[in-house]
Amino acid sequence: MARNLKLVAEKITREFEVKGGRITALYNVNLSAWEGEVLGVLGPNGAGKTTLIRILSTLLLPTSGSAKVMGFDVVKEPEKVREVINMASGAERSGYDFISARKNLWFFSQLYGIPGDEANKRIEELAEELSFKEYLDSKFYSLSTGYRQRVTIARAFINRPSVVFLDEPTIGLDVMTAMSIREFLKRKARDERITILLATHNMPEVEAICNRVAIIDKGRIIAEGTPEALKNTLTLCAYAIEIKPIPVNLGFLESVEGIKGYTMKADSQRGTATLQVVLEDEELLETVLFFLSKNGIRVLNTWRKEPTLEEVFVSYVGRGFGERESES
Partner 1 sequence: MKPGIWLRVMKGRMMVRIWSQFGEYLWIISNIGFPLLTSLSFALLYSSVGLKSFTGFAVLGGIMVSFWGNVIWSMASQFNWDKQEGLFEIYLVSPAPMSAILIGMSLGGIIGTAPSAVLVGISGYLLFRPEFSVSSVPALILTFVLTLASIYALGMMLSSLYLAYGREAETLNEVIQEPISMLSGVYFPSTGSLSPFPVAVQVLASLIPLTVGMDALRKVLFFSGDNSSVALNEFTLLVMAVILLLLSLRILKILEEKGRRDGTLTVKIS
Partner 2 sequence: MNFLRYIASSMRIGIYHDLSWTNPMLSIMLRAVYPYSSIMTSCLIFTVGSKAASKFTDVGLLYVMIGAFLYMHFASYAWVPTLAIGEGKNLFVFQYIIITKASSKFYLAGRTFSSFVVSILTATIGFILSYITMGSIVGHFPQLSLGPYSVVSIFAISLLNIPASLGLGYILASYALYASKFEWALPAYIAGMIMILSGALFPVTLLPYPVSFVAQYIPFTEFIRAARDVLLYSNMSDFLLSITTGFAGGLILLLIGYFVYEYSEEKARKVGALDRRLA
Positions in the binding site for partner 1 (CB under 8 A): 14, 16-17, 25, 45-46, 48-51, 54, 57-61, 78-79, 82-83, 85-87, 89, 91-99, 103, 106-115, 139, 155, 159
Looking at 22, 92, 97, 144, which residue binds partner 2 (CB under 8 A)?
97
151 φ, ψ (degrees, to nearest 5): -65, -40
For the bound state, the minimum distance from the C-beta of residue 54 to partner 1, rounded and expressed in Å, comes to: 7
Q: Which CB, 135 or 316, lies closer to partner 2?
A: 135
Secondary structure (H, E, C), 124-158:
HHHHHHCCCHHHCCCEHHHCCHHHHHHHHHHHHCC
The least CB distance from residue 82 to partner 1, in Å, is 5
Instruction: Answer yes or no whether residue 267 interacts with partner 2 by CB under 8 A.
Output: no
Q: Which is nearer to partner 2, 98 or 303 (CB)?
A: 98
| Contact partner at residue 51 from partner 1, partner 2, none, CB < 5 to 8 Å by partner kind | partner 1
Taking the C-alpha atoms of residue 264 and residue 133, their distance in angstroms, rounded to an integer, is 43
- Interface residue with partner 2 among 16, 141, 252, 290 (CB under 8 A) is 141
Q: Which is nearer to partner 2, 95 or 307 (CB)?
A: 95
Give 141 or 290: the residue with its C-beta nearer to partner 2: 141
Cβ partners under 8 Å of residue 190, min gap 6? 36
3-state secondary structure of 204: helix
- Share in percent of the chain as helix, strand, coil (round to 5): 35, 30, 30
How far, CA to CA in Å, does 286 sit from each of 136, 241, 243, 264, 314? 59, 12, 15, 18, 20
Q: Indicate the DSSP class of residue 123.
A: H
Q: Minimum distance from CB of 268 to partner 2 (Å)? A: 22
